[in-house]
């Protein structure tokens, strides 16, 4: 993917700050995402990455600075975006299909069924969420977010509570749906490997500031065993842990693997 | 517990009451329990049949049921609405909650002398007392239920475009429902209790009146019959409440 074309900027943060009383969670954050780009935001707990996502979703308002969607400032709930939460937040008193149709106007049946089939749970329509496994619940939550055909998908550590195997499966699913539907995506995660596997660009946040903005120009689907993958992974990890680089990274701006 | 079969599960809880009943009957026959202290179950049953024959029983039971139901509906609706508004709106909460909590701490049965002076001993006084007793448990549990709906689910609903009515019916009300039903079940108990006391003290009809009237003529069997009827209605209303709980909360299994 080439980032230097005239593609319009889809999401833009300009000097965004967030204060909770005396606590400065985000400190003058500038960030741009192009249409269709997959951005991963990593950082230690409490660095402000989830707050960033909630601001873009419009669930909270920034203390100063602006968030623009297609150059228009965001003032309330972001109608172009859908957010998927770590704990799924399915309504336990609604069956799977009725959870997916939440907020869908008009003719919903076909859309909801299709969304459920897209995440491979076409046969669970009538189940109660409590009877599903953790991975299945997150699939339903993903279907519920995507049924609205959002231009922007916000993922708040969506796979954090899943076991390693289910997580890999879900990463594949998210990647393929993203390639298919071409929505812009911002993924908040504490799993750097997940970030490198999925994102076009990895942002590292430390105490409310962007400390690293690293493109990952690897071809998809990405093999985690390939040397370039490990190199990016190590580079970001070193930066997070404040380790001195052990060796010289073979960093080239247009590094390509196929 | 899993090994106990379905039909056994239905029968076992009734074994102890049934055995007690048989013992009671046998001891009465043998004269161990004097008739003046406690009549035999068969006598109570006989009394029930004869009162049923004269139509007296039907009259008393239906008037009691009517009082219970009317009081429950009035008190329940008022308690529910206050619980709802105070749970949802901060302003309403600020304005009313403290006053309601103060009123709640007055034992409503203590108002009986006052209520008799206000309304006399006719229907109004009994329905008023039942409504007053029922109102508070419904209020507290509705209020608490709405206050304790998972904030994360409400946020999810808002993020997915729900607001106002749709947010209430999709998220807030179903989230509060189990607590509301607990309040209703509890208030059914209060309903019978209040009615029993109100009917024994001041009335000219109803099951409580039947019992008090029987006392004047030393009709032990009728007194016990009244108690049994109260017990049966109490059990019945609890079963109905449980049925609705099961039906409305079937996702929670």
> Has residue A183 been placed in a domain?
yes
A245 falls within a domain: yes
Residue A32 in any domain: the answer is: no
The reply to whether A105 and A208 lie within a common domain is: no
CB contacts, 8 Å: A82 with chain B: 159-160
| A165 and A42 inside one domain | yes
Which residue on chain A is closest to B161 by alpha carbon? Answer: A103
φ and ψ of B105, to 5 deg: -80, -5
Q: Is residue A29 part of a domain?
A: no
Pairing mode, if any, of strands A9-20 and A184-188? Answer: unpaired
In a domain, B171, yes or no: no
Instruction: Please report whether residue A76 resides in a domain.
Output: no
- Number of inter-chain CB pairs under 8 A, A vs B: 48
With b meaning 16 or more CB within 10 Å and e meaning fewer, what string describes A207-230? ebebeeebebbbeeebeeeeebbe
Pair A208, A131 in one domain = no
Query: A224 with A186, same domain?
Result: yes
Same domain, A176 and A51: yes
Residue A170 included in any domain: yes
**Is A103 in the B-facing interface, judged by CB distances under 8 Å?**
yes
Asked whether A174 and A198 are in contact (CB, 8 A), the reply is yes
DSSP state at residue B169: I
- Residues A249 and A157 occupy one common structural domain: yes
**ipTM of the predicted assembly exceeds 0.85:** no
Of A149, A174, A197, which marks where a domain is finished?
Answer: A149
DSSP sequence for chain A: --SSS---EEEEEEEEEEEETTEEEEEEEEEEEETT-EEEEE--TTSSHHHHHHHHHTSS--SEEEEEETTEEP-SS-TTEEEE-TT----TTS-HHHHHTTT--S--HHHHHHHHHHTT-GGGTT--GGGS-HHHHHHHHHHHHHTT--SEEEEESTTTTS-HHHHHHHHHHHHHHHHHH--EEEEE-S-HHHHHHH-SEEEEEETTEEEEEEE----SSPPTTSHHHHHHHHHHHHHHHTPPPSS-----TT----
Q: Cβ–Cβ of A91/B160 closer than 8 Å?
A: no
For A169, the domain range is: 37-60+152-258
Domain boundary among A102, A132, A149: A149
- A256 with A244, same domain: the answer is yes
CA distances from B239 to A20, B185, B244 (A): 50, 9, 9
Chain B residue whose CA is closest to A85: B156
Asked whether residue B162 is domain-assigned, the answer is no
CB < 8 Å to B158, chain A: 59, 77
**Cβ <8 Å between A130 and B158:** no
Q: Does A76 touch chain B (CB under 8 A)?
A: no
Does any CB of chain A come closer than 8 Å to the CB of residue B162?
A: yes
How many domains in chain A? 2
- With an 8 Å Cβ cutoff, are B174 and A93 in contact? yes
- Looking at the partner chain, which of A85, A92, A130 has a beta carbon nearest the beta carbon of B156? A85
CATH number for the domain spanning B129: value is 1.10.3720.10
With an 8 Å Cβ cutoff, are B152 and A93 in contact? Answer: no
* Residue B105 maps to a domain: yes
CATH number of domain containing A239: 3.40.50.300
Smallest Cβ–Cβ distance between B251 and the set A59, A83, A93 belongs to: A93
> Are A42 and A108 in a shared domain?
no
Please state the domain count of chain B. 1
**Residue B79 is assigned to a structural domain of this protein:** yes
Quick check: is A218 in a domain? yes
Range of the domain at B230: 68-151+178-252
Q: Does residue B15 lie within any of the structural domains?
A: no
Residue A24 placed within a domain: no
User: Is B1 among the domain residues?
Assistant: no
Residues B61-99 have pLDDT tens digits of 999 999 999 999 999 999 999 999 999 999 999 999 999
pLDDT in tens, chain A (258 residues): 444 444 567 899 999 999 998 888 899 889 999 999 999 999 888 888 889 999 999 999 999 999 999 888 998 889 889 999 988 899 999 999 999 999 888 888 888 999 999 888 889 999 999 999 988 999 999 999 999 999 999 999 999 888 888 889 899 999 999 999 899 999 999 899 999 999 999 999 988 889 999 999 998 889 888 899 999 999 999 888 887 765 555 554 444 444
Of A79, A91, A148, the CB nearest to B171: A91
**Residues A106 and A161 grouped into a single domain:** no
**Residue A110 and residue A211 in one domain:** no
**Residue A215 and residue A255 in one domain:** yes
Do A135 and A179 have their domain in common?
no
User: What global pTM score does this model have?
Assistant: 0.81
Question: Which residue does chain B place closest to A90, by CA atoms?
Answer: B153
**Per the CB < 8 Å rule, is B170 touching A94?**
yes
Residue B225 lies in a domain: yes
The confidence score (pLDDT) of residue B2 equals: 58
């Amino acid at each position: 993917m080439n980032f230097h074309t005239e593609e319009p900027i889809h999401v833009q943060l300009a000097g965004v700050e967030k204060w909770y009383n005396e606590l400065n969670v985000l400190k003058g954050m500038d960030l741009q995402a192009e249409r269709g780009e997959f951005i991963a935001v990593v950082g230690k707990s409490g660095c402000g990455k989830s707050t960033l996502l909630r601001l873009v979703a419009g669930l909270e308002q920034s203390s100063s600075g602006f968030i623009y969607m297609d150059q228009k400032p965001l003032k309330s709930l972001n109608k172009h975006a859908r957010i998927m939460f770590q704990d799924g937040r399915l309504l336990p008193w609604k069956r799977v299909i009725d959870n997916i149709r939440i907020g869908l106007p008009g003719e919903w049946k076909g859309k909801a069924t299709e969304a459920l089939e897209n995440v491979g749970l076409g046969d669970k329509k009538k189940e109660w969420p409590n009877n599903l496994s953790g991975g299945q619940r997150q699939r339903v939550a993903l279907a519920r977010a995507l049924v609205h055909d959002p231009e922007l998908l916000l993922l708040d550590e969506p796979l954090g509570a899943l076991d390693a195997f289910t997580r890999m499966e879900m990463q594949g699913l998210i990647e393929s749906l993203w390639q298919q539907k071409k929505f812009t995506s911002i993924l908040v995660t504490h799993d750097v490997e997940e970030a490198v596997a999925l994102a076009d660009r990895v942002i590292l946040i430390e105490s409310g500031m962007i400390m690293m903005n690293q493109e990952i120009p690897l071809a998809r689907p990405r093999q985690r065993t390939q040397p370039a993958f490990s190199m990016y992974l190590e580079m970001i990890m070193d930066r997070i842990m404040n380790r001195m680089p052990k060796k010289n990274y073979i960093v080239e701006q247009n590094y390509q693997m196929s | 517990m899993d090994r106990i079969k379905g039909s056994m599960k239905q029968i076992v809880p009734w074994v102890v009451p049934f055995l007690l009943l048989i013992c009671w009957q046998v001891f009465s026959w043998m004269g161990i329990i004097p008739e003046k202290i406690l009549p035999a179950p068969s006598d109570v049953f006989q009394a029930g049949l004869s009162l049923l024959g004269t139509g007296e029983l039907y009259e008393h039971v239906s008037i009691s049921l009517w009082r219970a139901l009317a009081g429950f509906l009035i008190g329940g609706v008022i308690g529910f609405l206050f619980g709802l508004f105070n749970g949802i709106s901060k302003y309403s909460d600020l304005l009313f909650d403290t006053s309601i909590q103060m009123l709640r701490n007055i034992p409503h049965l203590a108002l009986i002398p006052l209520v008799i002076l206000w309304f006399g001993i006719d229907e109004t006084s009994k329905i008023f007392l039942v409504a007053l007793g029922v109102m508070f448990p419904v209020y507290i549990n509705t209020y608490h239920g709405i206050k304790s709906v998972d904030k994360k689910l409400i946020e999810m609903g808002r993020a997915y475009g729900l607001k106002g009515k749709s947010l209430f019916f999709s998220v807030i009300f179903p989230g509060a429902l189990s607590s509301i039903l607990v309040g209703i079940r509890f208030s059914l108990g209060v309903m019978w209790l209040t009615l029993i006391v109100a009917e024994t003290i001041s009335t000219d009809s109803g099951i409580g009146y039947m019992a008090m009237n029987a006392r004047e003529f030393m009709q032990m069997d009728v007194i016990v019959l009244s108690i049994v009827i109260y017990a049966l209605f109490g059990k019945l209303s609890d079963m109905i409440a449980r049925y609705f709980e099961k039906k409305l909360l079937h996702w929670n299994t």
